[in-house]
Amino acid sequence: MIQKPQKSSFQKNRHLIPYILLAASLFAMFCMVTEPTRDDFYYQSIPAGSPKEVLDFLRMLYFNWSSRMVTEPLVLLLVNLDMTVWRVFCVANILGIALSVRYLLGIRNSVWKNSVLCMLVGAFPFSYYASAGWITTTAIYLISISLGLVALYPLRRLLDGKKSAWWENALFILSAVLSCNHEQVGAVVLGVYLCSCVYCAVLRRKVARMQICQIVIAAASILFVLTCPGDAVRVETEIQTWLPEYADWTVPEKLLRGVFHAVDYYFYTAGINFFAFALVFLLALALFLSPGKKPQKALALGGALWLCLAVGTILLQRLGLLARDMLFPWEEYGVNMLSRGVDVARAATALLLLFLLFGELFWLFGNSPSFWAGAMFLAAGFGSAAVLGFSPTIYASGNRVFSIFIYATIVLICHIVNQVFADTCGRRERLALLAAGAFSLASTAKNIWLVAGA
């Protein structure tokens, strides 16, 4: 019997090379930031030399500004350390996000699939993290998102039929407690676990205790946010500062404006959201490579061409070759979607594109767990942005509030790649890699340009 030659250690672990390159590129990117900015200086001015001073600061925040009692002490710590520590913190968290996505989606040792994941995670628009101070924003958002993904690990264990040790369950619970202190992450974790409970109750006739536990933690965290007196003070202050007309909006109007603002950002933002662009093209590519009806493929192609037209128009507007009020008028932070009336035609086409994405997912996967998982990823990201219509802080917060939306898109793209394409890189797979790589390269180029100037 002829024995097959054993693979070397390098061949077995080639799929880890993209993660090493990701860490190196991230560290280089954050080395472009040489000093604190904006809110970082405020936190540096806070006396925090003893536990009592930190508690006094947190008490002041709780009654006057914020419910984020978990991440605020981390900000105080990071702003008083060397910038190298902050850079390592950022790289570690983003690398944790990438590895968590790999684990949750069950991506195996395919080099090209792990490369797609790392390219997309590395191409996240990091300039978003400069909007309230580099250290402040990354400390609040990155730790919440990375731990929020760890809080979802029990779902992967449930799908694999594996049991967790007590210390693993303790880690998952602690991750939920820490991450859900961020209201957007808490809402996503709660929504995902509620959906998983419905799935398990209907198809498996059994709901795991960890699912119930994480739901209770996420719901309690959101209740804590809603009852925090500081949040009420903050809302009142920011209504007066940013959006006085917010006080007169009804609940349906807040919902409508939140939805419109979310889809407008996703497809027509002046900053060009290459992740939505990549998702539209990858879905269209997957549909064209799979057997299906011609009308479905034509609709997918039409959506991709429409988005090309929109992005091309916006780029010409940014270059000054077209007036800003032509076809896709835009202002910083989506002003026209909130305080100057809704551009109905623009918002309606964006909403249609979003519905088309849900439709394409169904055409691709049919009524299967893969469809419902993909739809949940898209709905979670969209919901995390649409809920901002209930807060006037959307003006003050800037684009960083869409971080979860972008990460949800990255998860969705990797889910499609993992489910539709093979582990080995054939012709179809090279096309998918080319599509994801082209938009990742565009995002990276924009990153270098924006981060250098941020």
pLDDT tens profile 295-324: 888 888 888 898 888 888 878 877 777 776
Q: Are 313 and 349 in contact, with CB atoms under 8 Å apart? A: no
Q: Read off the pLDDT band of 34 (50, 70, 90).
A: confident
As a whole number of angstroms, the distance between CA 55 and CA 354 comes to 44
In terms of Cβ atoms closer than 10 Å to its own Cβ (0-12, 13-18, 19+), residue 340 is exposed
Among residues of the chain, what percentage have pLDDT more than 90? 21
Using one digit for the tens of pLDDT, what is the confidence trace for 361-393? 999 898 888 999 899 999 988 888 888 777 776
pLDDT of residue 412 exceeding 90, the answer is: yes
Q: Residues 154, 125, 267, 398: is their CA dihedral positive or negative?
A: positive
Q: Which residue has the tokens 């910083």?
A: 332
Residue 137 contacts by C-beta under 8 Å, 6 or more apart in sequence? 39, 128, 129, 130, 131, 400
As a whole number of angstroms, the distance between CA 353 and CA 51 comes to 51
In terms of Cβ atoms closer than 10 Å to its own Cβ (0-12, 13-18, 19+), residue 46 is middle
User: Nearest CA to 454 among 27, 22, 34?
Assistant: 34
Q: Are 127 and 447 in contact, with CB atoms under 8 Å apart? A: yes
Among 53-67, 338-352, 401-415, 437-451, the range scoring the smallest mean pLDDT is: 338-352
Mean pLDDT of 342-368: 86
Q: Are 425 and 261 in contact, with CB atoms under 8 Å apart? A: no
Mean pLDDT of 146-159: 90
Q: Please count the helices (runs of H) and the strands (runs of E) in the chain.
A: 22, 0
pTM, entire model: 0.89
Mean pLDDT of 14-19: 84
As a whole number of angstroms, the distance between CA 109 and CA 115 comes to 10
pLDDT of residue 4 exceeding 80, the answer is: no
As a whole number of angstroms, the distance between CA 352 and CA 162 comes to 40
Mean pLDDT of 402-428: 89
Residue 336 is predicted with a pLDDT of 42
Q: Quick one: DSSP state of residue 182? A: S
As a whole number of angstroms, the distance between CA 404 and CA 397 comes to 14
As a whole number of angstroms, the distance between CA 140 and CA 89 comes to 12
Q: Quick one: DSSP state of residue 427? A: H
Tokens representing 431 are: 């096309």
Residue 334 is predicted with a pLDDT of 43
Rg (CA), the chain: 22
pLDDT of residue 335 exceeding 60, the answer is: no
Residue 394 is predicted with a pLDDT of 58
Tokens representing 212 are: 């119930």
Q: Are 413 and 436 in contact, with CB atoms under 8 Å apart? A: yes
